[in-house]
Structures are given as C-alpha cells and as structure tokens.
Amino acid sequence: MHPNAERVAKALLDRGATGTIVELPDSARTAQAAAEQLGCEVGAIANSLVFDADGTPLLVLTSGAHRVDTAKVAAVVGAEKVRRASPEFVRDATGQPIGGVAPLGHPAPVRTLVDVWLDRYDRVWAAGGHPHTVFPTTYEELLRITGGTPAEVE
C-alpha cells in the first residue's frame, strides 16, 4: 500500500472509523472515475477539494455531483477570497496529491466543510490519500472523523 494510504488507514483506525482502505485497479482522480469503478452514483463520491482561503488551506468535501460555489464558501468561512489551490499548495497542506486527497491523514489539521448533500447517501466514498485508494464511510462519520462543519457548498 502507498505510504499516504497507510497514513490514512492509521488515521481511520485512530479515529474509530468503520471503513478501511480499498485499492482500485485504475486511478480515480475524478468522482466519475471512482463511481464507475465502485459501481455507485457519482453523488456518493466525497470529492476532497482544497482551496486557498485568504492564504489558509480549506478542505471542502463535496458530492461528486456538485461544483463548489467559492463565493458561498467564502461567506461560510468568513474569507475575503476563496480560490482553487495550486498543486503545490495542496501537497504542502495535505501531504497528498490532487486526485487522491483524503479527508484526513494530513501533517496538520485542515479546516473542513462537508457538503450536506452527502447526507442523502447511506454510504459515501472518499479518497484514501492516493489516486488508486478510497474508503467507505457515512456522512455522520465523515463529520466526526474530520471535525468538519456541515455546509451547503453548491
């Protein structure tokens, strides 16, 4: 298993999560690619998107069926400007590459918003720290293990 996925697996275990890392045969850099491999709706994929909120990392876990409204997110977090982070910013904040960013297992805590839309699914899938890894969870568990704040992000 990739070292990033091992860190995420340890973080899941440490936080009492019920899901374990699943290695996919192909890269799942997009919600659509993950959904196709898992045989689930794209909306059940918890995309981990990192933004630059006035210079501070912000992780938004959104349904794969949504696009994030950065103006809405800025209002939620009280930032003047929220914009997509560069690949370097993402790796510095999470230790993980774009396309594989997990909701946990980062070098330091990252403020997190969790799309309320994900609550519509009994099971959601999140990235496991590498583009070939994911893990199953629930909306409530995702909130608990990330310390995230529920939010409308679309």
Inter-residue contact 92 to 149 (CB < 8 Å): no
Predicted model pTM: 0.95
pLDDT (tens digit per residue) in 128-137: 999 999 999 9
Confidence (pLDDT) at 74: 98
Cα–Cα distance for residue pair 148/70, rounded to 1 Å: 17
pLDDT (tens digit per residue) in 76-127: 999 999 999 999 999 999 999 999 999 999 999 999 999 999 999 999 999 9
pLDDT (tens digit per residue) in 48-66: 999 999 999 999 999 999 9
Residue 22 clears pLDDT 90, i.e. is over it: yes
Strand locations in the chain (E): 22-23, 45-53, 56-63, 82-84, 111-115, 124-127, 133-137, 149-151
Confidence (pLDDT) at 29: 83
pLDDT (tens digit per residue) in 7-18: 999 999 999 999
